[in-house]
A = this chain, B = another copy of it.
Amino acid sequence: MAATIRDVAHAAGVSQSTVSRALSMPELVNPATRARVMSAARKLGYQPNRAARGLITGRTGNLGLIVPDLANPFFSTILKGMQMAARAADYSVFVADTDEDASAEVELLRALAKQVDGIVLCSPRSVDVGLADLGTDTPVVLINRHVDNRPSVTFDSADGMRQAVEHLAALGHRRIAYVAGPRTSWSNGERERGLRQTATATRSDIVHLGYFPPFFDGGVAAADLAVASGATAVIAYNDVVALGLLSRLGARGVAVPGQLSVMGCDDIGMSAMTHPALTTVSAPTHEAGRATVALLLQLLDGEADTTALHRELPTQLIVRATTGVVPAPDHRPAEVTR
């Protein structure tokens, strides 16, 4: 049986309160007794029972993360970032995978709420309704999605698309196809917004190929439309979709980037591992995980209002040495005068 605070108190010849204090508020106890307590604790391998502590303090020392799919690198990287930041703050993290099921989400949210001090919710496309009644007791931070004045951490996807289109425009692409993600996805909306704005600014055309599942198969399905669209470059909703494009294009014998340039989005680890590597726009997921923890801790310390706490992370165009993006066929770069 594990040692309790009683055992330590006995061994050190003091009361439980003294042990408790020696551990949590060391400055309030005599250095000599403290030393005795510490040594006893170490000898017995004492580890405080966090559940018991939480029962009285009202703090569990746990954070929760709810994601649609842990096998998706986008989410597992968020988890990783969150995990690291949580550990640094001496918090543990619970994780729950809804398996893309929005109803499971609500259920998990409710179940987790009792066991954690705060929840990070990654809910790219669930209805807003479900979000309304929650967060009253346990603070909830949204990630990759912004809703009214709920705390959230998002990526500046619109700016990412600006960078992407400007990059393509600089290479002479004027007709750019976009493989959209789910219609109800918040981040897809942001991307389309960025796309439209920059298209106007650069006088390029965006051909919207339609809404596709944000998976490999989505890209496979969209590839032929991309070819038929007459665009010289395609931007995919995310990297995995871009890989799907690449696969189908390869199978059809359409050379990338020779006949068609392809860009992804999110910069998941794998995007650097293909050959040619994927040109993409980074979404700092790891950083986002850390940021949610920071936000949550602020909320818990009462340092901030529960509403209107929002952090937007910058995105960054990633162009690799070997890449799936080249100048448009008819592109003639500006002449250099010396």
- A-side residues, CB < 8 A to B, are 1-2, 47-52, 54-55, 60, 62, 69-71, 73, 76-77, 79-80, 83-84, 87, 92-97, 99, 108, 110-115, 137, 216, 240, 243-244, 246-247, 250-251, 269-270, 272-277, 286, 322
Contact = CB atoms under 8 A, between A and B. Distances in A.
A93 B92 contact: no
B99 A84 contact: yes
A273 B216 contact: yes
Given A76-B71, A115-B51, A246 B275 contact: yes
A83 B71 contact: no
- This chain's copy number in the assembly: 2
A238 to B, nearest CB: 12
A51 B50 CA distance: 9
A210 to B, nearest CB: 21
Given A76-B71, A246-B275, A83 B95 contact: yes
19 contacts: A1-B137, A50-B114, A51-B55, A71-B77, A71-B80, A71-B286, A73-B73, A73-B76, A79-B95, A83-B97, A92-B115, A93-B96, A94-B94, A243-B274, A246-B275, A247-B273, A247-B274, A250-B275, A270-B270
Contacts of A1: 137
Contact of A92 (B69, B76, B79, B112): B112
A110 B47 CA distance: 8
Contact of A70 (B2, B54, B80): B80
Contacts of A99: 84
A322 B251 contact: yes
Given A251-B275, A275-B247, A97 B84 contact: yes
A-B pairs, top 9 by smallest CB distance, nearest first, are A250-B275, A76-B76, A51-B51, A70-B80, A243-B273, A247-B275, A83-B97, A270-B270, A95-B95
A249 B275 CA distance: 9
Contacts of A269: 71
Contacts of A80: 69-71, 97
Nearest to A240: B273
A243 to B, nearest CB: 4
Given A79-B95, A87-B108, A92-B111, 19 more contacts: A1-B137, A47-B111, A50-B115, A51-B60, A51-B115, A52-B55, A69-B80, A71-B73, A71-B286, A76-B76, A76-B79, A84-B99, A92-B115, A93-B95, A216-B272, A243-B270, A250-B275, A251-B275, A251-B322
A298 to B, nearest CB: 22
A74 to B, nearest CB: 11
Contacts of A97: 80, 83-84
A114 B2 contact: yes
